[in-house]
Chain A
Amino acid sequence: MDQSGKQAKREAMSARIKRLHQSTVFKVIAAIVVLLFVLNLVTKSKDYSETENRSLAKRPGIMAGGLADGSYFKDFDTYYSDQFVLRDQFVKLKFIGNSLLHIKESSGVYIGKKKYQFEIPVTPDQKALDRTVKKINEFYDVHQEMKTTMMVVPSSAVILKDYLPSNAAVTDQAKDIEEFYDRIDSGISTVDVTSILEDAGKDNLYYKTDHHWTSQGAYKVFQKSAAYLGIDAPVGYKKYLVSTSFKGTLSSKSGDFVGKDKVEIYVPKSDKVSYYVTYPASQEKRASIFKPEQLKTKDKYTVFFGGNHPLVEINTTADNRRNLLIVKDSYANSFVQFLLPYYEKIIIVDPRYYYDNVNMVLSNYDINEILYLYSADTLFTDTSLADSLDAATQAQKELENAESYAEKVKREQEEADSGGEEEETTEESGGEETDDSGGDSGGENN
């Protein structure tokens, strides 16, 4: 055979192999598709995803309305992907692929060294922050008699920056916290949490898979900040390990389930002071701030109080008339365990869920000390705190005005009695508005 003949033969063979290859690819992938299709048909639907911490969609019912506006089809798409067989494993595979491609960021979470994951710290919402500063100061103005302390905790990306993926960009949150401290009233004592954590080494200060600080990190901060809170002789604590398989919010957010954490709790060594906890919203009473049943759920950080509540009451047997109000986000949940022996009452309010007037809380519980404990990420974008403090400040001002009106009436009455000439007392309706001060403070505590 001559050259061109050989060439033609080779090309024909190539074409044949190519066709064979194409048919094999078709058959192999078709087999995978059929296999997964059948598996999807036969496996039962799941109600809840532990790893995603949400309920999974059920098969939508066929209704005329749903077909007409397209919601049936959207719901079916969601249902099919929610219930897809081996869903969690497939998602894990996606992240294996990501790390092969050296992709170190996913959904606002950096995948760092030593299996640490980091929430990307937020740049402050200047408008919201300005208002928060203003309202904190205004509230302090009408309650200067109360000892007020402010603690803002930086995000793990600030303290553990050596574990961030190389070159990852992080906003200077330490500076943001410093600037915030400068702007609030000098009468409020501020705790430099950032420096305390920076000096506390690196290990076990924050969770690897969750955006909270660990109990140990909170403890180190407590030890150094006790003086600011007026705690002169902190007691010793015993540490207990309550879980070794915590996979928290960051691994859920990123979808990357590398790494897991241990959860520890601290209990005061001396049992001189005992306490009980009340959750007014659910009318629950507990003998401990810890809820061990939460350790069986995915979000093990909720072993502290079971999560966030609008209002939590802790009454102790300490007879020192120190009644503390903590205004907070979820970071405080693992800090309260250290405060128990030193106060007669600890009242905890989360402004994101508490809709009644904080001023009522102050008077109902005879509060004389206030602690603000927030993570920087929450505080710098939050609007609920300012709203809550604003309503409380207004209520307090009205109270003060009302009192001075009552005093004025009393004074005029005395003058009228002692004087002789009848003086006109002008009657105005409602200096004191007890039925709707702040909207709906009376009655329903939620």
Chain B
Amino acid sequence: MAFNSLVFIFIFLPIVLLIYRFIPQIAKNIFLIIASLLFYAWGSPEALLLILLSVGFNFFAATGIGQHVRRHGQRSAKIHLAVAVIFNVGLLAVYKYTVLGMPIGISFYTFSVMSCLFDVYYGKTGPDMNFMDFILYVMFFPKIISGPIVQWADFKEQVRDHAMSREGLYEGFNLFMIGFFKKVLLADKLGETFSSVFALPDQTVGMAWIGVIGYGLQLYMDFSGYSDMAIGLAKMFGFDFKKNFDYPYTSKNISEFWRRWHISLGAWFRDYVYIPLGGSRVSRPKHIRNLMAVWVLTGIWHGSTLNFLIWGLYHGALVMLDKFVIGSGFSRMPDRLQKFLTNVAVFIGWVFFFTTGIGNAFRYIGRLFGIGAAGFWSSATTFCLTENLILFVVTILCCGPWLFNTYEKLVFANGRKRPAYYISIVLYAVLFVFGIANILGSTWSSFMYAAF
């Protein structure tokens, strides 16, 4: 099941909210587990078996590590931790790199279970493991499919105390709606028009840039929209998850970009790879090694082909350039220029995401700079632009806090219900209906049978 499906919005979520609201406190977590199992099985029952086995394996692995840590200290648990981590990574690698299809959410839940293993090992949480808490942690339906990657310590703190409050319900729902609009009205639409740009022969420089901008905007809206929906849903049930995106396209340099993009993944690599390896508090060569480790892993986490590895290394190189070479020189430039250059670098990086094969990737990047393109502009390019222009403008407005702040000022600042207040409510309703229309529209199919 997905958050932007009709069955989720009209059947699953209302019923789960209703039942959750009225069942006794002791039953609430168990109910969430059952609901999450159904949510996951709806996509693929076969994958359900695997994730349950993984839950079983990791629960006992974490319990074992906890026992070792408590009885004999951290060092005695090291081998057990290593073996469990290698097993999880190996399992993920088997599904990623062989002909077996990837079970849904495996990249996310593998990192979740490993977070638990590490947190218990390092003593960030107590050594006791409760099975119900753990299975809810792994399977919790707001985050099981696409994150954010919540760390075990953060979840364990809330798992007994979380409570549905009116405030949380309303605030969470609003966030869910914002994510819904981002995904269905912006990301999906950008995706539709983006694919037709690609289908055209005679790619010009202009088309190449329109394509990469469209993709970068779509990716951001899609991922951050889905994260918003996830965090919003969690909040409705009383869970507080940290935000996963913080206006990444307003970053002034690459290091800042990675503090704003897919924050939970960056935090995971920082806390469980970078810092344990020594982070930046080691010799320069070791520091570089640590950075490389993180970026290689970031690359291959995103995808199983060479393109993603190169993308990871690309960002790693840029980060090191920023840290060791350019440093403060860059920050002496005007803010706008810094943001512009950072975005150019980031968007060029996205080319590795949507092309297949390194050849195509470098050919596309070449076209961005005029190499191998069929001219700079063409009337077909104008067509691509006019198809996407309004979407681009609206999406770009959503890339920074400006739109949001202006909106809040217009609607809330006065403390009274001005016309803007009512317009805003109507706007939410209208956008929601358009969202449903788009979901139904994408299930539209017509059989072009023999009439052809």
| CB of B382 within 8 Å of the partner chain | yes
Known contacts A17-B412, A26-B174, A123-B201; A301 and B452 CB within 8 A of each other: no
Q: How far is the CA of A32 from the CA of B202 in the complex (A)?
A: 47
| CB of B28 within 8 Å of the partner chain | no
Question: Are A308 and B412 within 8 A (Cβ)?
Answer: no
Question: Are B440 and A299 within 8 A (Cβ)?
Answer: no
Q: How far is the CA of A103 from the CA of B193 in the complex (A)?
A: 8
| CB of A28 within 8 Å of the partner chain | yes
Q: Which residues of B contact A104 (CB under 8 A)?
A: 383, 386-387
| CB of A91 within 8 Å of the partner chain | yes
Near B by CB (< 8 A), chain A positions 74-97 give 76-78, 80-82, 84, 87, 90-91, 93-95, 97
Known contacts A21-B411, A84-B440, A90-B441; A249 and B43 CB within 8 A of each other: no
Question: Are A29 and B429 within 8 A (Cβ)?
Answer: yes
Q: Which residues of A contact B389 (CB under 8 A)?
A: 102
Q: How many residues of A contact B (CB 8 A)?
A: 74
Question: Are B440 and A34 within 8 A (Cβ)?
Answer: no
Closest A residue, CB atoms, query B446: A252
Closest B residue, CB atoms, query A210: B451
| CB of A25 within 8 Å of the partner chain | yes
Main secondary structure of the interface of B (DSSP, over half): helix
| CB of A321 within 8 Å of the partner chain | no
Q: What mask results when residues 7 to 22 of chain A are scored 1 for a CB within 8 Å of chain B, else 0?
A: 0001001101111111
| CB of B30 within 8 Å of the partner chain | no
| CB of A259 within 8 Å of the partner chain | no
Known contacts A54-B447, A123-B201; A40 and B452 CB within 8 A of each other: no
Closest B residue, CB atoms, query A11: B415
| CB of B273 within 8 Å of the partner chain | no
| CB of B433 within 8 Å of the partner chain | yes
Question: Are B170 and A94 within 8 A (Cβ)?
Answer: no
Question: Are B447 and A25 within 8 A (Cβ)?
Answer: no
Closest B residue, CB atoms, query A37: B10
| CB of A43 within 8 Å of the partner chain | no
- What's the nearest-Cβ distance from chain A to residue B169, in Å? 7
Partner of B444, one of A20, A52, A169, A330: A52
Q: How far is the CA of A252 from the CA of B446 in the complex (A)?
A: 6
Q: What mask results when residues 386 to 405 of chain A are scored 1 for a CB within 8 Å of chain B, else 0?
A: 00000000000000000000
| CB of B277 within 8 Å of the partner chain | no
Closest B residue, CB atoms, query A54: B447
Q: What mask results when residues 261 to 303 of chain B are scored 1 for a CB within 8 Å of chain A, else 0?
A: 0000000000000000000000000000000000000000000
Question: Are A169 and B174 within 8 A (Cβ)?
Answer: no
Closest B residue, CB atoms, query A248: B451
Closest A residue, CB atoms, query B386: A102
Q: Which of B170, B171, B434, B449 is most buried by chain A, counting CB atoms within 10 A of its CB?
A: B170
- What's the nearest-Cβ distance from chain B to residue A218, in Å? 16
| CB of A1 within 8 Å of the partner chain | no
Near A by CB (< 8 A), chain B positions 401-422 give 408, 411-417, 421
Q: Which residues of B contact A63 (CB under 8 A)?
A: none
Known contacts A97-B438, A169-B380; A69 and B6 CB within 8 A of each other: no
Question: Are B452 and A330 within 8 A (Cβ)?
Answer: yes
Closest A residue, CB atoms, query B236: A26
Q: How far is the CA of A158 from the CA of B429 in the complex (A)?
A: 43
| CB of A60 within 8 Å of the partner chain | no
Q: How far is the CA of A401 from the CA of B6 in the complex (A)?
A: 66
Question: Are A101 and B390 within 8 A (Cβ)?
Answer: yes
Q: How far is the CA of A335 from the CA of B408 in the complex (A)?
A: 64
Near B by CB (< 8 A), chain A positions 136-176 give 165-169, 171
| CB of A105 within 8 Å of the partner chain | yes
| CB of A59 within 8 Å of the partner chain | no
Partner of A33, one of B5, B9, B383: B9
Known contacts A33-B14, A67-B45; A19 and B167 CB within 8 A of each other: yes
Partner of A68, one of B45, B169, B192, B412: B45
- What's the nearest-Cβ distance from chain B to residue A435, in Å? 31
Q: How far is the CA of A307 from the CA of B450 in the complex (A)?
A: 7
Q: What mask results when residues 226 to 261 of chain A are scored 1 for a CB within 8 Å of chain B, else 0?
A: 000000000000000000000001001101000000
| CB of B356 within 8 Å of the partner chain | no
Near B by CB (< 8 A), chain A positions 262-317 give 299, 301-302, 307-308
Near B by CB (< 8 A), chain A positions 429-446 give none
| CB of B436 within 8 Å of the partner chain | yes
- What's the nearest-Cβ distance from chain B to residue A214, in Å? 15
Question: Are B415 and A81 within 8 A (Cβ)?
Answer: no
Question: Are B45 and A69 within 8 A (Cβ)?
Answer: yes
Q: Which residues of B contact A17 (CB under 8 A)?
A: 411-412, 414-417, 421
Question: Are B173 and A70 within 8 A (Cβ)?
Answer: no
Q: Which residues of A contact B11 (CB under 8 A)?
A: 37, 80
Q: Which residues of A contact B379 (CB under 8 A)?
A: 167, 169
Q: How far is the CA of A10 from the CA of B171 in the complex (A)?
A: 20
- What's the nearest-Cβ distance from chain A to residue B96, in Å? 21
Question: Are B173 and A26 within 8 A (Cβ)?
Answer: yes
Q: Which residues of B contact A165 (CB under 8 A)?
A: 383
Q: Which residues of B contact A195 (CB under 8 A)?
A: none
Q: How far is the CA of A353 from the CA of B450 in the complex (A)?
A: 9
Q: Which residues of B contact A223 (CB under 8 A)?
A: none
Question: Are B417 and A73 within 8 A (Cβ)?
Answer: no
Question: Are B437 and A90 within 8 A (Cβ)?
Answer: yes
Q: How far is the CA of A302 from the CA of B452 in the complex (A)?
A: 11
Question: Are A330 and B451 within 8 A (Cβ)?
Answer: yes
Q: How far is the CA of A101 from the CA of B378 in the complex (A)?
A: 22
Q: Which residues of B contact A14 (CB under 8 A)?
A: 408, 412-415
Q: How far is the CA of A302 from the CA of B446 in the complex (A)?
A: 17
Instruction: Please list the 4 inter-chain residue pairs (A to B) with the smallest Cβ-Cβ separation, ordered nearest first.
Output: A13-B415, A94-B441, A169-B380, A167-B383
What would 9 more interface pairs be, CB under 8 Å, given A29-B429, A76-B7, A101-B391?
A10-B415, A17-B416, A18-B412, A25-B177, A54-B445, A102-B387, A166-B383, A168-B383, A211-B452
Q: Could you show 8 A-B contacts with beta carbons less than 8 Å apart?
A: A23-B170, A32-B433, A53-B446, A81-B6, A168-B380, A211-B452, A249-B448, A378-B452
